[in-house]
Amino acid sequence: MITAIHTMVYSDDPTATRAFFKDVLRWPFVSEGAQGDGAVGGAGTGGDDPAEWLIFGTGRSELGVHPTSGDGDGGEWSAPKHHWIAVMCDDVDATVAELAGRGAEFAGAAQDMGFGRGVVMHVPGADDMLLYRPHHATAYDLD
């Protein structure tokens, strides 16, 4: 029935965002050409220019649904409905060091976030992403 999740990142500078995913995160990709219409039948054009419409393989994934309000140790809280992309790793410090060496920038140092240890990673031209090592049970390897 459902075969995959297609995550979309909207960017003010798509070329910079695609270059970040391609060169810094080193995600594998296919190209759909300059306008996103270059490959009939889903085969891809074989291009690797970040100015083209690159579609990235992001590896294993999972989806969590979080509340927009609650009452916790810090009192009542609320947030607007939104989507947030987080990428997971096994070692936050080692991953930050490796990605920083490739040009990634982060908002401060990694910290304990309760559900895991993480840090916000800046994505050129787009919204930030969370990079974290989960402390929670994971579902990305379920079949």
pLDDT at 37 over 80: no
Token digits of residue 133: 């090592």
What's the start-to-end Cα distance of the chain, in Å?
14
Can you tell me whether residue 140 is helix, strand or coil? coil
pLDDT at 134: 95
**Mean pLDDT for all residues in the chain:** 90
Which residues, other chains included, contact 55 with Cβ-Cβ below 8 Å and sequence gap of 6+? Answer: 29, 30, 31, 32, 44
Location of structure tokens 């990305």:
140
